[in-house]
Chains A and B, each alone.
Chain A
C-alpha cells in the first residue's frame, strides 16, 4: 500500500526522516514509520478476520442441522472460544490500532507517532501473541474450550494449552498497552500547535479515550489470568472454592476488564462513523462537543456496569438493581450519538458511495444491537436471556454490522488516499448489499432462537431450533463468501484499482473535513515534517 517513495519536503535537521523506506522485505520488520506499521496492522487484522471467519464457518456448518455433523463437541467449543479471541484480539482491535497509526498523525498534523520504536514492538508482540494462541490448537488436550471469558473452574480443565493461552493473553495485553500509550502520547504531545483539544477530529478524540481505557483495563485482565495460572500451578486459591476462594470473583475481575473492552472496540467505531458521515452529507458533524462528552461519559460508565454480565450468579438484590439502572444510563450518551449522526445527515446533500452505505447501515444496525442490549439490562428479564442465542445475536449486532462494517467503510474511505488508486465502486456496492442482507439473515434469527431458549456454546440442539439455525447458517455462508469480495477489492486497489486519477481530497470537498485530505494522494512516506498552520474545522 505505502510502497511509495514519493518526494517529500526535505528537512535537513531531521535526520531520521530524511530517507524513504528501507529496501527489500526487511523494511517491514524494522520499520518505525507510522504508515508502514499502520499497513502491517491492517493487513494482519484482515488476515485474522479470515482466520476467525473460517472458525465461524465451522461453527455455522456444525449448527446447520441438529445432531453431530463435522466436528466433535470439544473441538466445537474450542472453535467458539478461539473465534472470539481471534476476532477480538487479532482482528477488530488491531484493525483500529492500524487505523490509528495511519490516520492520527495525519489528522493532527504530526510527522509520526510519539514513540516509533515502541510502535514497531507493539505490532510484533501482537503477532507473537496471536501465533502462540494459534499454536494451542495443536497441543495435547486441544485449544481452550471454555469460552473467551476463560471462566474457572472450567478453563482450568484445559489440557497442556492452558499456560500457553494465558501467556498469549499476556503478550496481546502488553501489545495493546504499548499501542495505547503510544497513541495517547501522540495525541497529547504531537498535535500541530494550531489544534487545541476541542478542535481534534472525532476519530482522534475517540482514540484518546480508548487509549486511556486500554491502559486501565488490560493490566487487570493480565492480573486475572495470572491468578488462573497460579491457581492451576502454584496452589493459590483465588478462585478455588476448596481453598477459600470464589469462582464468582473471577467473573467480577474479568468483567471489570470485559465491559470497558467492548467499548474499546466500539468507541473508535463511533469515531470513524463521525468522520465519514459528514463528508458524504456535505455538512459539518452535528453536535461536536456533545459527541466528545458522550464518548467520555460512555467510557466512564463502562467502568461501573460490569456485573450486568453476571446477573444470574446470585448477586444481592441491591446489586442487581444498581447494575440494572447504571446499565440503562448508557443508553443516554449512546442515544446522543445516534441522534447526532442522524442530524448530520438531515438535509445534507447526501451521496451514497460504499463508505457512506456501510456507515448508514452501521447507524441502523448498531442501534438495533443497542436495543437488545437495553432488553438485557433489565435484570429479571436477563435471567431468561442469559447464555442463550439472544446474547449471541445482541453482541454480534454490535460487533459485526457495527465495528466490522465501519472497518470496511474505513477501508473504502481511506484506501484511495493511502494508495492513490480508486477502488471499484460497483464491486464495493455489491459487497455492501451482500454483506448487509446476509448479516441480517445470519444474526436476526438468533434472536428468535435465544428467546425460545437455545443455549449458546453447544454443538447440538433440540429439533425445534432446526429451521432458524439452518437459515442463520445460510446467511453465515453468504456473509463469509461476500467478504472475499472485500479481499479482492483491497488487492485490486493496491494494484491500481480502476485506473481513475484520484485527487488529493479524493471525496468532494473532503479537504474541509480533515487535514489528511490536504496531503497528496497517495500519501508520501513522510508527511507534516513541519506542522500545518491552517486547520480545517469539521464543526461549528
Chain B
C-alpha cells in the first residue's frame, strides 16, 4: 500500500468514525424527538394524557348499555407497599359518574414518595375514560406505615364505540422516593 492511499484510508476512517459517534448522539436525540413527534397534530394521539383531570360534564346516561370496568392494582418490583381497590370490577352505564376507593399502605419505617401509573386495556378505550379526580394525578407522599384511602372519580364517555364491553384499568405504584429526593 503506498503512502497516499494509507493517508486517504486514515482520513476516511476518521470521518466514518465521527459519523458513528454522531449516530450515538442521534440515539439520544430520539428521546426528546419522540415527545415532540407525539405532540404533532397530524399524529392524532389516541392516548390523551391519562393522568390529567378532565372537568365534570353532564352526559346523557345511556341506561341501555353496560360497560364492565375492571380494576387491577400492582406494585413495581421493590415497592414496599400494600395496594388494593375497593372492588375488583364495576358495571357502569356510559355517562354515569362513579367513585371507587383505592387503598395503599406504606410498609416501611420511612417516608415514601410513590406514584401510581395507569394503563388501559384495550388501549383505545383510554380516550373515553375520563377522570375528574384521581390519586394518579400527582405523586403521593406516605408517612411511615401510613394507610391511605384514595378516591378515583370517573365517567365512561357515551361516545365509547359499542364494540367495547369491558375496560381494564390497571394501576402500578412505583416507589419514587430516591428520584424525588434528588429533584
The residues of A with any CB-CB pair to B shorter than 8 Å are 14, 16-17, 111-112, 114-115, 118, 153, 157, 177, 180-182, 184-186, 188-190, 215-224, 227, 235, 237-238, 240-243, 246, 249, 252-253, 256, 314, 316-319
Chain B residues within an 8 Å CB radius of A188: 12
Q: How far is the CA of A249 from the CA of B115 in the complex (A)?
A: 20
Say whether A317 contacts B179, CB under 8 Å.
Answer: no
B110 close to A (CB within 8 Å): no
B58 close to A (CB within 8 Å): no
Of A112, A190, A227, A314, the contact of B46 (CB 8 Å cutoff): A314
Given contacts A185-B16, A224-B27, is CB(A219)–CB(B9) below 8 Å? Answer: no
Say whether B178 contacts A235, CB under 8 Å.
Answer: yes
**Closest chain B residue to A238 by CB distance?**
B31
Chain B residues within an 8 Å CB radius of A114: 5, 9, 12-13
B76 close to A (CB within 8 Å): yes
Chain B residues within an 8 Å CB radius of A215: 16, 19-20, 23
Q: How far is the CA of A19 from the CA of B26 in the complex (A)?
A: 44
Given contacts A114-B13, A189-B12, A314-B47, is CB(A219)–CB(B27) below 8 Å? Answer: yes
Q: How far is the CA of A451 from the CA of B9 in the complex (A)?
A: 51
Chain A residues within an 8 Å CB radius of B124: 314
B157 close to A (CB within 8 Å): no
Of A118, A181, A189, A221, the contact of B8 (CB 8 Å cutoff): A189
B123 close to A (CB within 8 Å): yes
Chain A residues within an 8 Å CB radius of B31: 227, 238, 249, 253
Say whether B123 contacts A118, CB under 8 Å.
Answer: no
Given contacts A241-B117, A316-B45, is CB(A219)–CB(B23) below 8 Å? Answer: yes
Of B20, B30, B115, B175, the contact of A253 (CB 8 Å cutoff): B30
Of A17, A189, A217, A238, the contact of B9 (CB 8 Å cutoff): A189
Contact residues, B125-183 vs A (CB, 8 A): 172, 174-176, 178-179, 182
Say whether A317 contacts B20, CB under 8 Å.
Answer: no
Nearest chain B CB to A114 CB, angstrom units: 4
Chain B residues within an 8 Å CB radius of A177: 17, 20
Query: Could you pull out 12 A-B pairs where Cβ atoms are within 8 angstroms?
Result: A114-B13, A181-B17, A181-B20, A190-B5, A215-B19, A216-B23, A219-B21, A219-B26, A220-B23, A242-B76, A252-B30, A318-B42
Say whether B117 contacts A115, CB under 8 Å.
Answer: no
Say whether A317 contacts B9, CB under 8 Å.
Answer: no
- For the A-B complex with A182-B13, A237-B179 known, give 5 more contacts whose Cβ atoms are closer than 8 Å: A16-B1, A181-B16, A215-B16, A240-B174, A242-B174
Chain B residues within an 8 Å CB radius of A246: 34
Q: How far is the CA of A16 from the CA of B3 in the complex (A)?
A: 12
Q: Which of B1, B25, B26, B47 has the most CB of A within 10 A?
A: B1
Say whether B44 contacts A318, CB under 8 Å.
Answer: yes
B36 close to A (CB within 8 Å): no
Chain B residues within an 8 Å CB radius of A190: 1, 5, 9
**Closest chain A residue to B29 by CB distance?**
A223
B43 close to A (CB within 8 Å): yes
The residues of B with any CB-CB pair to A shorter than 8 Å are 1, 5, 8-10, 12-13, 16-17, 19-28, 30-31, 34, 42-47, 76-77, 115, 117, 123-124, 172, 174-176, 178-179, 182
**Closest chain A residue to B28 by CB distance?**
A223
Given contacts A314-B47, A316-B46, is CB(A118)–CB(B179) below 8 Å? Answer: no
Q: How far is the CA of A392 from the CA of B27 in the complex (A)?
A: 28
Count: A-B pairs, CB below 8 Å = 113
Q: How far is the CA of A399 from the CA of B161 in the complex (A)?
A: 42
Say whether B1 contacts A223, CB under 8 Å.
Answer: no
Of A118, A235, A240, A316, the contact of B43 (CB 8 Å cutoff): A316
Chain B residues within an 8 Å CB radius of A238: 31
Say whether B178 contacts A218, CB under 8 Å.
Answer: no
Nearest chain B CB to A230 CB, angstrom units: 11
Say whether B43 contacts A243, CB under 8 Å.
Answer: no
Say whether B5 contacts A242, CB under 8 Å.
Answer: no
**Which 7 residue pairs of A and B lie closest in terms of their CB atoms, listed nearest first?**
A223-B27, A242-B174, A314-B123, A219-B24, A220-B27, A219-B23, A114-B9
Say whether A220 contacts B24, CB under 8 Å.
Answer: yes
Chain B residues within an 8 Å CB radius of A235: 178-179, 182
Chain A residues within an 8 Å CB radius of B13: 114-115, 118, 181-182, 185
Chain B residues within an 8 Å CB radius of A184: 12, 16
Nearest chain A CB to B80 CB, angstrom units: 14
Q: Which of B31, B46, B47 has the most CB of A within 10 A?
A: B31
Chain B residues within an 8 Å CB radius of A180: 16
**Closest chain B residue to A253 by CB distance?**
B30
Q: How far is the CA of A252 from the CA of B36 in the complex (A)?
A: 14
Chain A residues within an 8 Å CB radius of B24: 219-220, 222-223
Say whether B5 contacts A189, CB under 8 Å.
Answer: yes
Say whether B28 contacts A185, CB under 8 Å.
Answer: no
Say whether B123 contacts A241, CB under 8 Å.
Answer: no
**Closest chain B residue to A252 by CB distance?**
B34
Nearest chain A CB to B54 CB, angstrom units: 19
Q: How far is the CA of A316 from the CA of B42 in the complex (A)?
A: 10
Q: How far is the CA of A238 from the CA of B28 in the complex (A)?
A: 10
Q: How far is the CA of A188 from the CA of B5 in the complex (A)?
A: 11
Say whether A253 contacts B27, CB under 8 Å.
Answer: yes
Chain B residues within an 8 Å CB radius of A182: 13
Q: How far is the CA of A413 from the CA of B20 in the complex (A)?
A: 34
Say whether A317 contacts B23, CB under 8 Å.
Answer: no
Nearest chain A CB to B32 CB, angstrom units: 10
Q: How far is the CA of A189 from the CA of B25 in the complex (A)?
A: 27
Nearest chain B CB to A232 CB, angstrom units: 12
Chain B residues within an 8 Å CB radius of A111: 1
Nearest chain A CB to B143 CB, angstrom units: 20
Q: How far is the CA of A426 from the CA of B34 in the complex (A)?
A: 56
Chain B residues within an 8 Å CB radius of A314: 46-47, 123-124
